[in-house]
Amino acid sequence: MLPNAEGRKVPQVTFRTRADGRWKDVTTDEIFRGRTVVLFALPGAYTPTCSSTHLPRYNELAPVFRKVGVDEIVCLSVNDAFVMGEWQQDQNAPNVRFIPDGNGEFTEAMGLLVDKSDLGFGKRSWRYSMLVKDGVIEKMFIEPEKEGDPFEVSDADTMLRYVAPREKAPEPVLVFSKPGCPHCARAKDLLKSRGVVFEEVAMGKGITSSSLRAVSGKGTAPQVFIGGRLIGGADELERYFAGPDRKAA
């Protein structure tokens, strides 16, 4: 059975990271001491579930976690610093801190280093998430011991429900944009000023005005969708945020 470390201090480990093209040692004390941190660990960078669901949702909900008192969200994987750095850029996840546990020291001390040699991975982390306050693990969500790569409880929404049961997760936001479009830039700046995390689909890479018309009924960019509803362009987005129930948003 995989161990649950609730009530224990996090292991004392020094991570070998990269910053500005140089090696930088980061200790667990630097990450956790005197702070409230959500850490989620996953089997590997660039793997399907990690890239498509696990990481993006934590990045999306990061502003909500900060609002309810979480100082930082950390993504940890048994990968080297170069791989984690490239993956962070590829994922465009600025709201999450990527920590490479290259030698698996932290993961092994947590008792969650597992053998995935059958996949050619070697030793990797089991998928889990945890809430750490001042270096002490308050809560862990460890995926069930099933064959494959279960993803049932370590997700961002489950953690948010634990941290702040009454807090409502924001609706997903999608922006269809066109390179060099000033109205697109205005819409994106407005979303950023409101702390809204959004996904952007740029026209010109297999996405045409016909594609945009098919999903929105309009062929001009930007077109903003919130929670599956079409809001429209930059002007419509401004009116949306000016609504009486969104003045504090």
What residues are annotated to the active site? Answer: 50
Question: 200 burial class (0-12, 13-18, 19+ CB within 10 angstroms)?
Answer: middle
Region of residue 148 (left: phi > 0; alpha: psi -120 to 50; beta: else): left
